[in-house]
Structure 1
């Protein structure tokens, strides 16, 4: 079927006049009439009939006009979908984030993004850095956001640092080291409450000890969630090594206290990772632009 001719017929049926269709399309009336006649010949039934000084639709024309209206309405929907997808107004973003950004940064970023792009679907997985990187490599997610990501990345991964925060040693306020300055060796004699293996901050602590030749810490309690680990320290057991973003409010409220370790000032990088040489969906690119603006 000649879709160009069908479109001409659809406009004639919608406007009720060859003259108005000619004006709308900027095509001469004789040219439109000739194409409709060829279309009728192709279909082997008439679409238009004379009525007074104008034209009317035949019964077959009425039915074809109804079907054409549905067809071109779907075409408009397709065009709108394509335009929205290109602009990032629709689509799906699959995101993996480590605990720090997932709990302390993402909620505000996501709220602002969804206010602007309500139709974009988002799936968020909170996990440790090793698993987040694996999901990105395995094409299970489009973006991975890290708090303290590892220094070595596969060649296929592109990492962009957003900002840095400081890593702190913290204890309960009544701990003998609360607010004190101690050596790394003294700090490592304390029992630690940490997240599970694969946590970047845990690995940073172990690497710190190796670098300075200190004994590795005794991790007496291990939790899958950082919140639980912090609460155990607040309750009075052990120490934690953690991002200042996570515990700053606890310290300001007096629920936790910093321990200042001589010669140690480690920064924690907050970064966003994608796969190199692979174009992002427009919606995901919009989200990254928003995050960069917020960071």
Structure 2
């Protein structure tokens, strides 16, 4: 049994005429007759009473017609749904975000995306950088917003925006009011760092090592606001992206740009290279890439 058999039979049942059904379907009348005969043979019943001038359905014909209508409707709905999917009219995207970063980088772009694609659902979850990569690799999320670098053998990365890291210091610190500072001048400072699962931890530590010293860690935290409060409480200094520093400033801290070496902090969307990515997810990546202002 195939869809054409049901389609031809349903149209004949609806029109009560082979001739009118052939006109509607744009096929020859013998083709319809042959297809319905094969359906009757396959089912082992007579579907149409052809003895009178006007075709009538048999009891079996009424039953098959009822089911055929439902099946054809489902097939039509399936075809429409697939077409909508291919045209990115609907879909579901699981998105992983770095805490704080997603809050300032994506809301406006996501709002415009939802206006453009109202039937695409977005599920958003927060992870620190390393667990986020694991979630993308294991297929639990489709797209991750993280920072570079990432493993280019496993992930496709779409850079969005880069910004500098800056030092934040408390009022009264000798660097307070300075226009810039060399990273090597911070060798004797105590640092408030992010915990090891954060990419920031590795970036700051690696930058300090390249500048010739191991940073002295006073405290570590997984919370951006807590890092800022610890610096404001004179427990140490920290290095953070400028956008984060400006959010943490609130009159308690001073931002000191690094004159050397400049430390880039590049945000990117990542997805797994060897994994199928839905049309909705690809549309989201392209939309965010075009709407997140560098």
Range into which the TM-score falls when normalised by the shorter chain:
0.7 to 0.9
The DSSP-based 3-state class of the residue aligned with 1:99 is coil
1:21 is matched with 21
1:65 is matched with 65
1:197 is matched with 196
Do the aligned partners of residues 205 and 8 (structure 1) sit closer, same or farther apart at CA in structure 2, a change above 3 Å counting? same
Q: Are residues 1:111 and 2:111 paired?
A: yes
2:279 is matched with 282
1:245 is matched with 243
1:226 is matched with 224
CA offset at residue 16 of structure 1?
A: 4.6
Distance 2:183 2:135 in 1: 35
Do the aligned partners of residues 30 and 294 (structure 1) sit closer, same or farther apart at CA in structure 2, a change above 3 Å counting? same
- Deviation string 1:157-176 (CA, Å, 9 cap, x unpaired) is 33232221111111245544
CA offset at residue 17 of structure 1?
A: 4.0
Distance 2:45 2:182 in 1: 95
CA offset at residue 242 of structure 1?
A: 0.8
CA offset at residue 81 of structure 1?
A: 3.0
CA offset at residue 130 of structure 1?
A: 2.0
CA offset at residue 249 of structure 1?
A: 4.4
1:39 is matched with 39
Say whether the 8 Å CA contact 1:173–1:254 is kept in structure 2. no
Distance 1:196 1:186 in 2: 23
Distance 1:2 1:289 in 2: 40
Do the aligned partners of residues 56 and 137 (structure 1) sit closer, same or farther apart at CA in structure 2, a change above 3 Å counting? same
Say whether the 8 Å CA contact 1:88–1:284 is kept in structure 2. no
CA offset at residue 104 of structure 1?
A: 1.9
1:162 is matched with 160
Do the aligned partners of residues 107 and 236 (structure 1) sit closer, same or farther apart at CA in structure 2, a change above 3 Å counting? farther
Structure 2, unmatched stretches of 5+, are: none
Do the aligned partners of residues 98 and 59 (structure 1) sit closer, same or farther apart at CA in structure 2, a change above 3 Å counting? same
Say whether the 8 Å CA contact 2:165–2:258 is kept in structure 1. no
Say whether the 8 Å CA contact 2:165–2:257 is kept in structure 1. no
Say whether the 8 Å CA contact 2:194–2:223 is kept in structure 1. yes
Say whether the 8 Å CA contact 2:48–2:58 is kept in structure 1. yes
Do the aligned partners of residues 14 and 227 (structure 1) sit closer, same or farther apart at CA in structure 2, a change above 3 Å counting? farther
The DSSP-based 3-state class of the residue aligned with 1:144 is strand
- Deviation string 1:247-288 (CA, Å, 9 cap, x unpaired) is 33454x644321244434222111222233444222211111
Q: CA RMSD in A?
A: 2.9
- What TM-score does the superposition give when structure 1 sets the normalisation length? 0.83
Corresponding pairs, count: 291
CA offset at residue 73 of structure 1?
A: 1.2
The DSSP-based 3-state class of the residue aligned with 2:79 is helix
CA offset at residue 195 of structure 1?
A: 1.7
Say whether the 8 Å CA contact 2:167–2:238 is kept in structure 1. yes
The DSSP-based 3-state class of the residue aligned with 1:73 is helix
Do the aligned partners of residues 76 and 229 (structure 1) sit closer, same or farther apart at CA in structure 2, a change above 3 Å counting? same
CA offset at residue 182 of structure 1?
A: 4.2
